[in-house]
């Protein structure tokens, strides 16, 4: 999750927080949990990063018993982003 805000000097900030892990991965020592201040205007959005997966060319090379193409990576990592949520204290 990404949080963005302006500080008292109108300087922009963004902070990345890990909120989910896959497989045997564990959170870091700091925990990286989101903080929330009900008095602070901020925006939040989520960025998902997929675990790397083989490209279709890698599957084809394995299936047909041919060498991997040298001009493309063997794996790919997809990403997705949500629309931001804007928080404005009442």
- Domain hosting 20: range is 2-87
Q: Which two tokens stand for residue 90?
A: 């009442």
pTM: 0.63
pLDDT for the residue 78: 93
DSSP state of 30: T
Would you call 59 helix, strand, or coil by DSSP?
helix
- pLDDT tens-place values along the chain, 90 residues long: 999 999 889 999 999 887 777 777 777 676 655 778 899 999 999 999 888 999 999 999 999 999 998 999 999 999 999 999 999 998
pLDDT for the residue 33: 58
pLDDT for the residue 35: 75
β-partners of residue 75 are 54
Domain count, the chain: 1
């Amino acid at each position: 999750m990404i949080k963005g805000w302006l500080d008292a000097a109108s300087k922009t900030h963004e902070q990345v927080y890990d909120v989910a892990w896959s497989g045997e991965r564990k959170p870091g020592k700091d925990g990286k949990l989101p903080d929330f201040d009900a008095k602070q205007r901020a925006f939040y959005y989520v960025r998902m990063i997929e675990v790397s997966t083989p490209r279709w060319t890698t599957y084809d090379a394995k299936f047909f018993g041919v060498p991997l193409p040298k001009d493309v990576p063997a794996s790919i990592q997809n990403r997705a982003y949500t629309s931001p949520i804007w928080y404005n204290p009442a």
